[in-house]
Chain A
Amino acid sequence: MSELESGQELPELKVTPDKYLTYRYAGASGDFNPIHIDEEFAQSVGLPGRILHGLWMMAQVARAVSAAGDGPESLKRLSVQFRGMGFPEQEIAVSVSVKDVGDGVATLQAEAVQDGRKIIRKGEAEVRVG
């Protein structure tokens, strides 16, 4: 994808975390905060249920913006703000648009939405292109 232009939309990334994703991600990442893996605990602190790890959601944004570049070395910077909670078994859509392109680096904007709620906003990435 070397012909990026300012204002262009990248293909939307859609992903549905399955029921057991938070357990696998807890093991993979080392983040065993019970709000992600214990339904009763999550409810005891006022949540509707287990919530997704924010950094897993950010990893989905990383995948979506990396599509602008070529390979795992193309992503140079990514920043996000976490807003709202993500839940298992509901589809997440990550949208990405090109803010500008120059000197072989594309600056991208991204956000993630689940069930009409923004769960990641103000995503901004720099990806090496071409």
Chain B
Amino acid sequence: MGLKTDAVGKTYPPETYAVGREKVREYASAVGEGLDLHHDPEAARAAGYSDVVAPPMFAVVFAGKAMGPALFDPDVGIDFSRMVHGGQEFVWGPPVVAGDEIVTEIEVKDVSERGGLEFYVFESRSTNQDGETVCTGTWTNIVR
């Protein structure tokens, strides 16, 4: 199979994502997050936030955008026709609110083979404009 283990440790140029109010509301609606904090700026301000608060899983929006170049990198060499998303972990820091600018960096953490399956593991680290880590993601893709 010729796994491209040399790719382990590779990083990609940071991707900046500007969090918009309507995007937060659109995402919250699509996943069924109904709290006023996600939809109503007045309610969010009354609760001490500067604007609507992104649901935790909104991390897939800003980090997922950054994941693209890594997933499609020929140096990693994933065969998409046989790939499945095997597992996912997120660790969250301070909340993300509309108006934030989030910078995400991706690193290839593991390329390995076990039991006839290929594992491709990526880490995303997302930081806000104040330098706080708002979310770290571990993305495990499996090629059958």
- For chain A residues 77-100, which have a beta carbon within 8 Å of chain B? 77-82
Q: Answer whether residue A10 sits at the interface, using C-beta atoms and an 8 A cutoff.
A: no
* Inter-chain contacts of A104 with B (CB < 8 A): none
Contact B30–A75 (Cβ < 8 Å): no
Contact A76–B91 (Cβ < 8 Å): yes
Q: Answer whether residue A3 sits at the interface, using C-beta atoms and an 8 A cutoff.
A: no
Residue among A27, A55, A59 making CB contact with B26, cutoff 8 Å: A27
Interface residue total, chain B, C-beta cutoff 8 A: 34
* Inter-chain contacts of B81 with A (CB < 8 A): 45
Known: A27-B26, A62-B57, A72-B56. A54 touches B31 (CB 8 A): no
Known: A56-B31, A62-B56. A72 touches B86 (CB 8 A): no
A127–B85 CA distance with the chains assembled, in angstroms:
24
Q: With CB as the reference atom, state the residue of chain B lying closest to A124.
A: B89
Contact A72–B37 (Cβ < 8 Å): yes
Q: Answer whether residue B3 sits at the interface, using C-beta atoms and an 8 A cutoff.
A: no
- For chain A residues 1-56, which have a beta carbon within 8 Å of chain B? 15, 21, 24-25, 27-31, 45, 54-56
A6 to chain B, nearest CB (A): 23
Contact A78–B56 (Cβ < 8 Å): yes
Known: A29-B60, A82-B85. A59 touches B90 (CB 8 A): no
Known: A25-B31, A72-B95. A58 touches B88 (CB 8 A): yes
Q: Answer whether residue B65 sits at the interface, using C-beta atoms and an 8 A cutoff.
A: yes
Known: A45-B81, A66-B56, A82-B84. A73 touches B95 (CB 8 A): yes
A-B contacts, 6 of them at CB < 8 A, read: A15-B32, A59-B33, A66-B56, A72-B38, A76-B91, A79-B88
What is the interface of chain A, defined by CB distance below 8 A to chain B?
15, 21, 24-25, 27-31, 45, 54-56, 58-60, 62-63, 66, 71-73, 75-82
Q: Which 4 A-B pairs have the closest CB atoms?
A: A79-B89, A28-B30, A59-B31, A59-B57
With contacts A28-B30, A78-B56 known, what are 19 further pairs, Cβ within 8 A? Answer: A25-B31, A27-B30, A28-B26, A28-B27, A28-B61, A29-B60, A55-B60, A55-B85, A56-B30, A58-B88, A59-B31, A59-B33, A72-B53, A73-B95, A75-B56, A76-B91, A77-B89, A77-B91, A79-B90
